[in-house]
Structure 1
Amino acid sequence: MTDLSFEAALNERVGEMLDACTRCGKCVEACPSVRPAGIADASPTDVIAGVIDLVRLGEGSEASRKWASSCMLSGDCIRACDYGVNPRFLLAMARSAMRRKESDLATRRRAGVTRYRETSRDVATLARMQLDHAALERLGQGAATLAAKDEVPDFVFYTGCNVLKTPHIALLALDIMDVLGISYSVMGGPSHCCGVMQFRTGDTEMSGRMGTSSVDKMSSSRSGVLSWCPSCYVQFSETTLPAIERQRGAKPFEMTPFLRFLRGRLDQLRPHLRAPVEMRVALHRHSGVAGIVEAVLELLEAVPGMEIVDLRQPAAGLQSASMSVLPDYKRELQRAELEAAREAGIDALVTIYHSDHRELCAHERDQPFRILNILEVLGQSMGLHRRDRHKELKITQDADLIVRECEDLIAAHALDSAFAREVVVKAMLGDQPLPLEASPRP
């Protein structure tokens, strides 16, 4: 245990990484954001040198500022580095430094609080429009936990926040663990924030405070934490946990992405994949968390009857939401993938993460194939099913109809209907980067 504050521990690690960086530019050369960000003609060595200036001084070249602002968290830069530097983490610190240069702490803190409250509102409202009290408690949004109070669970399952907008995905994760005989407690939602929203506004002190609080709450299992949300995973594994390890001399726990965990338990899972799922599927891919695409492909291959088609599309970004920094590029990739999927004659396009699913699911209305999450496919083979209410509602493209469809749950949770409609318009129907076709296909 040291007397270091969170920010001091974070800055120590940053300093060591800056010293280790040779400014070779390989991270810039490997980055898929460079071309769509309009800096393909810039010198890679100059770009990374400018990023280091941003981290140290809050000022850097225009190309370096563009690169930092256009990071989709793809992770290619990490794999390209020969010196153990995490350029993705340095880019996050560069963006934080830019925010600090632009405004004072009070302004940045207000911005972080505003983002946090908006996310909390949207998540809570959409979850309550789909789930009753018992299901919400099962997802850690109430007093109940799944592990007995006098029993230490095998794992903490950390949902993050936004997966609660598509709660069938999180519930299927719990159902699969139940089948495998794994005990767990569930944490997540705004009350267990990873601090990424505060971090993005340049308020590293508040980000550390919130992230550390959540880490302490999660330190209650025998085997560590299973995480679902990739942005939470990156925030914890690349920022919060390393800083806490410097403060305390040890890491409180290991955090493992849930789909990599399932791949590691494939021998245990395989006997439960009994029912054939006769489908030709393609995977919507993101490369940001190492090993996830490979894990999902291996899980799909274990499902009897499954045929996997490679659409040969780029696997950029951490998840779809992370690509919002380059909206035109994201729409271009989504359009190309849907066209390739249609031409390939697949039965289903399989998503990995919740933001991928939210953004793509309504396109099922216009396409000759389904949009399914990987856990739905595994669940189908295991005899597990959760209704994808988010997709059903979003496909209607009618806010008033959605509110009417959910009126029983709106009443049960004492939600205001007009307020619920506002959230539907913004956080469900508005979450549509690539517009649907003008009229539905037959």
Structure 2
Amino acid sequence: MKPNDISFETALQTRVEEMLDACTRCGKCVEACPSVRPAGIAETAAQDIITGIIDIVRNGKGPDVSRKWAQSCMLSGECIKACDEGVNPRFLLAMARAAAVKAEHELPERRRAGVEKYRDLGRDVTVLSRLQLDDEVLDRLGQKSASVATPSEVPDFVFYTGCNVLKTPHIALLALDIMDALGISYQVMGGPSHCCGILQLRASDIEMSGRMGTSSVDKLSHSKSGQVISWCPSCYVQFTETTLPAIERQRGARPFEMTPFLRFLDGRIEQLTPLLRERVAMRIALHRHSGVAGVMEAAEKILRAIPGIALVDLNQPAVGLQSVNLGVLPAFKRELQLAELEAAREANIDALVTVYHSDHRELCAHERDWPFRIVNLLELVGASMGLGRHDRYKELKIMQDADQIISECSDLIARHALDPAKAREVVVKSMLGDQPLPLRG
């Protein structure tokens, strides 16, 4: 069968079957996984757990302990490092979760669930970004009609935001400011109109996931370098481990390579360092997640290049893809966050520094109650470069009062013709409700 003659689903399934055939069921992936112990399945033989995962992938059914492992995956990626056979166990766990959903629900129900999650995401991103930004800045972030038009000159890179970073837009804006200072030409794409398809995959609507992911890939495939710089780690994993490999099998070639933003900056550290002119005298600790290889190492290298920064190791576990992915084990997540905050207090740091947007959303309001700031890494890079963006999200969330937040944002609510009552619902659910470890008091 020639490339282009096969569907996305067929291409994906062929890759799955090759991995299943390559898996020796040695159990090393299970042994390396940081989810196993907090999920309460450490007493089961690792070989039995992975064998059950293969059964679930193939027919949607398998032992409860294997289902529990799949559902407890925090996307840490330790399983990938542990495999000697070139198998991606993290990808197989995603396929196991999809297969289990497919076995229990008919396609119309699965499709409806995917659509509902997509609409919820679009609503939350739209409202929370518009509570903070005017049209001009939304346009810069690729969220208005003019910004998605084909540029007159092909840019060096496409910068892909994903969706949820738009809730904390100062982070994405700082990324663009830094690229401007480096003299890099780029086009910004992202938001719900450029969905990676992950919500549809979780709902086991593989056809729709492939359709949405392929549409976004085609939009992103327009740069001189053939490179897409990505921000969101969830989108990065979805594209690089599911969508792009399937499209490569369909078309015979990969449309582009995708590089996480901090690894991109690290690759230009010699160009970046002379721009870090301002001293930032702070004692800081880095909030770490291990899910995308090389990102935390790049973050540490960039922070050490900032004059005045003293980086303290809190000796806390670095697990999961980003904070939101630890939500599959909520009690474990709260324990980790509390332990880190306590360690940060004991270390007498000035700031706990986040990398990803979900980390920042979940942790930033704790600044109210602890003797240190919560800032994003790009805020420190920007400060040293003479660049600044106000963290309006943190300012609003620390208020902890939905009515006050809506009142504070009334001008933008009117300008964007938002329904204040619906905007308040989003604030309650997706801003104030996004608080895994409760604030003190």
How far 1:148 sits from its partner (Å)?
8.2
For residues 205-354 of structure 1, what are the structure 2 equivalents within 5 Å? Answer: 205-223=207-225, 224-354=227-357
1:432 and 1:85 map into 2 onto residues whose CA distance is 35
1:258 and 1:133 map into 2 onto residues whose CA distance is 25
Contact 2:148 2:189 in 1 (8 A): no
Counterpart for residue 130 of structure 2: 128
Cα gap change, 1:146 to 1:11, in 2 (>3 Å): closer
How far 1:329 sits from its partner (Å)?
0.6
Give TM-score, length-normalised by structure 1: 0.98
Counterpart for residue 203 of structure 1: 205
* 2:369 aligns with one of 366, 371, 375: 366
Matched, 1:152 2:154: yes
How far 1:396 sits from its partner (Å)?
0.6
2:206 and 2:390 map into 1 onto residues whose CA distance is 39
Task: Provide, for residues 119-146 of structure 1, a one-character-per-residue CA deviation record: whole Å limited to 9, x for no partner.
Answer: 0000000000000000000000013349
Counterpart for residue 378 of structure 2: 375
How far 1:433 sits from its partner (Å)?
0.2
Moved more, 141-150 or 239-248: 141-150
Task: Provide, for residues 44-75 of structure 1, a one-character-per-residue CA deviation record: whole Å limited to 9, x for no partner.
Answer: 00000000000001111111000000000000
Task: Provide, for residues 381-429 of structure 1, a one-character-per-residue CA deviation record: whole Å limited to 9, x for no partner.
Answer: 0000000000000001000000000000000000011111110000000
Counterpart for residue 120 of structure 2: 118
How far 1:312 sits from its partner (Å)?
0.3
SS of alignment partner, residue 225 of structure 1: strand
1:419 and 1:295 map into 2 onto residues whose CA distance is 40
SS of alignment partner, residue 436 of structure 1: coil
Contact 1:21 1:85 in 2 (8 A): yes
Counterpart for residue 404 of structure 1: 407
Counterpart for residue 423 of structure 1: 426
Letter in 2 for 1:53: D
Contact 1:180 1:268 in 2 (8 A): yes
How far 1:147 sits from its partner (Å)?
9.7
Counterpart for residue 141 of structure 2: 139
Counterpart for residue 106 of structure 1: 108
Task: Provide, for residues 261-313 of structure 1, a one-character-per-residue CA deviation record: whole Å limited to 9, x for no partner.
Answer: 00001001001000011001000000000001100000000000110000000
Letter in 1 for 2:437: L
How far 1:2 sits from its partner (Å)?
3.1
* 2:179 aligns with one of 162, 177, 180: 177
Contact 1:50 1:64 in 2 (8 A): yes
Contact 1:126 1:424 in 2 (8 A): yes
2:440 and 2:151 map into 1 onto residues whose CA distance is 51
SS of alignment partner, residue 165 of structure 2: helix
SS of alignment partner, residue 379 of structure 1: helix
1:72 and 1:426 map into 2 onto residues whose CA distance is 23
Letter in 2 for 1:207: S
Counterpart for residue 414 of structure 1: 417
1:322 and 1:436 map into 2 onto residues whose CA distance is 20
Quote the sequence identity (%): 73
SS of alignment partner, residue 168 of structure 1: helix
1:32 and 1:303 map into 2 onto residues whose CA distance is 32
2:183 and 2:402 map into 1 onto residues whose CA distance is 40
Letter in 1 for 2:128: L
How far 1:149 sits from its partner (Å)?
2.5
- Pairwise CA RMSD: 0.9
- Point out where structure 2 has 5 or more consecutive residues left out of the alignment: none
SS of alignment partner, residue 158 of structure 2: strand
How far 1:222 sits from its partner (Å)?
1.1
Letter in 2 for 1:368: P
SS of alignment partner, residue 24 of structure 1: coil
Counterpart for residue 13 of structure 1: 15
1:204 and 1:101 map into 2 onto residues whose CA distance is 13
Task: Provide, for residues 7-26 of structure 1, a one-character-per-residue CA deviation record: whole Å limited to 9, x for no partner.
Answer: 00000000000011110000
Letter in 2 for 1:380: A
Contact 1:287 1:293 in 2 (8 A): yes
1:150 and 1:433 map into 2 onto residues whose CA distance is 45
How far 1:150 sits from its partner (Å)?
1.9
Contact 1:147 1:184 in 2 (8 A): no
1:386 and 1:58 map into 2 onto residues whose CA distance is 48
Counterpart for residue 162 of structure 1: 164
* 2:388 aligns with one of 376, 385, 390: 385
How far 1:219 sits from its partner (Å)?
0.5
Contact 1:109 1:198 in 2 (8 A): yes
SS of alignment partner, residue 146 of structure 2: coil
Counterpart for residue 78 of structure 2: 76
Letter in 1 for 2:90: R
SS of alignment partner, residue 144 of structure 1: helix
SS of alignment partner, residue 134 of structure 1: helix
Task: Provide, for residues 72-98 of structure 1, a one-character-per-residue CA deviation record: whole Å limited to 9, x for no partner.
Answer: 000000000111000000000000000
SS of alignment partner, residue 133 of structure 2: coil
Letter in 2 for 1:344: A
Contact 1:147 1:183 in 2 (8 A): no
Give TM-score, length-normalised by structure 2: 0.98
Deviating runs (4+, > 4 A) in structure 1? none
Moved more, 376-385 or 139-148: 139-148
Letter in 1 for 2:339: A
Aligned residues: 438
Letter in 2 for 1:350: V
For residues 35-54 of structure 1, what are the structure 2 equivalents within 5 Å? Answer: 35-54=37-56
